[in-house]
Amino acid sequence: MRYYSIVLCFLFIVTSALSAGAESPLSTDINDLLTVDLLTMGPGEQPFSKFGHNAIRIRDSGDNSDAVYNFGTFSFGSPTLIRDFFKGRLLYWLSCETMDVTMRRYAAEHRSMIAQHLALSLAQKLELKRQLVLNAKPEHRIYKYDYFFDNCSTRVRDAINRVTNGQLRGVLRTPAHQTLRAHALRASADFFPEYLTLAIGLGPLVDRPTDAWAETFLPEELAAALRKASIRNPDGSVVPLVDFERTLLEHRDLRPPQPPGWAVRFFLVGALIGLVLVTTAVLAHKHRVASVIFGAILVIGGLVIGLLGVSLAALWAFTDHAVTYRNQSLLLLSPLALALPWYGIRIVACGAKAIAEMRYVAWLIFVSALLALLAKLAPIEWQDNGNLIAFCLPCHAALVACGGRYGRGTHFRHMGASCRARG
């Protein structure tokens, strides 16, 4: 009986020790051997780096590794790079490099970097590492890049969402505080050519109301979302997804929190161009130089506007860039403007009388721009292209005014005769 009591006592001690082991410091140490950080890098100087970047860092003391998994890798040396980019078929892939290499590269580019330590369970960390290692294999690593819907940041977001059983998606169902267009324009506001390209090229898809999940196409928005997110552990406890964060590299971000309100500036520039058109048209019947200036403006302006219109139509018809489809800017930058260089050459050759020849084309271009304005009142897809409307309408209205000035009572036959006589 005495021995039986001793055995029972021993079994009780062992059982108690094993039960407590799940919460013991030893278990915590094992969990800390594998850590996961979300790395968020600030914008760079190059146009393609204006929107920042992110990656997942996994440190594993078990195999003495410190790897950074980066979904934003592509080849600058690809012979089809430009073609694939414009067709919306650019291929990116998941690469893996050491933390030391990552730090040196972003330090050399003078870009910021923060690390957010994710409070994942050991099972979630192991599963995340397994998925990333598998995804980085040559047969799985390549994907077709989409700037808004499938990029380096959305891939990171989706990986975290999978290992948390969709909890991150649930947290980010709240309404977005800005549209996708607004985010793109504010991020590119300090580089006007890129800003203007996005303002013109993006269609109504990026103006739809969306949620915080979609906003995380920007790395900084994903980092901000994780700061506020909490997840439920397998034991039922709710904890913040980010334990803590620290700054690894510092650099000041000068991008505005909102897209710039430049409608007045666009209108003033458009009105100034319109004033130049009207002034040179008025002076053209007295001064040969004014005719040449007016004709040159038509040649240059017609080529720029017309080719932009053709490009917008091509993006819609022949590419995979869904964000450029149904672009109402096509009404403002009409391919009809490609007829203006011909009239510009005629005006340079024949003088002010030839200005009347362009009046019908001028009216068609102006009416097309009016349709873009009236679309704001129609029950169709909303597109935020107010800046472009503010610029184009004064220009197109001035063109109509110039054609109308010489159009009354003037016949093409007489102008053709005048041109031949001058020649």
Integer angstrom CA distances of residue 361 from 169, 193, 338, 368, 402: 52, 29, 10, 11, 12
pLDDT at residue number 30: 59
Check pLDDT > 50 for residue 328.
yes
As a whole-number percent, the residues of the chain with pLDDT over 70 amount to 88
CA dihedral of 293, 295, 301, 303, whole degrees rounded to 10 = -140
Whether the predicted pLDDT of 25 surpasses 60? no
pLDDT at 409 over 70: no
For all residues of the chain together, what is the average pLDDT?
88
CA distances from 126 to 36, 58, 164 (A): 10, 10, 12
Weakest-pLDDT range from 24-28, 113-117, 204-208, 326-330: 24-28
Indicate whether 31 pLDDT > 90. no
Question: What's the confidence (pLDDT) of residue 419?
Answer: 55
How far is Cα 45 from Cα 52, in angstroms, rounded to an integer? 10
| In contact, 128 and 159? CB cutoff 8 Å | yes
Q: In the beta sheet, which residues pair with residue 40?
A: 54, 114
pLDDT of residue 254: 81
Closest CA to 313 of 203, 396, 392: 203
- What's the mean pLDDT in 17-45? 67
Average pLDDT over residues 400-409: 71
Whether 180 and 217 have beta carbons less than 8 Å apart is answered as yes
- Residue 147 and residue 184: Cα distance in Å, rounded? 10
Q: What is the mean pLDDT of residues 375-394?
A: 93
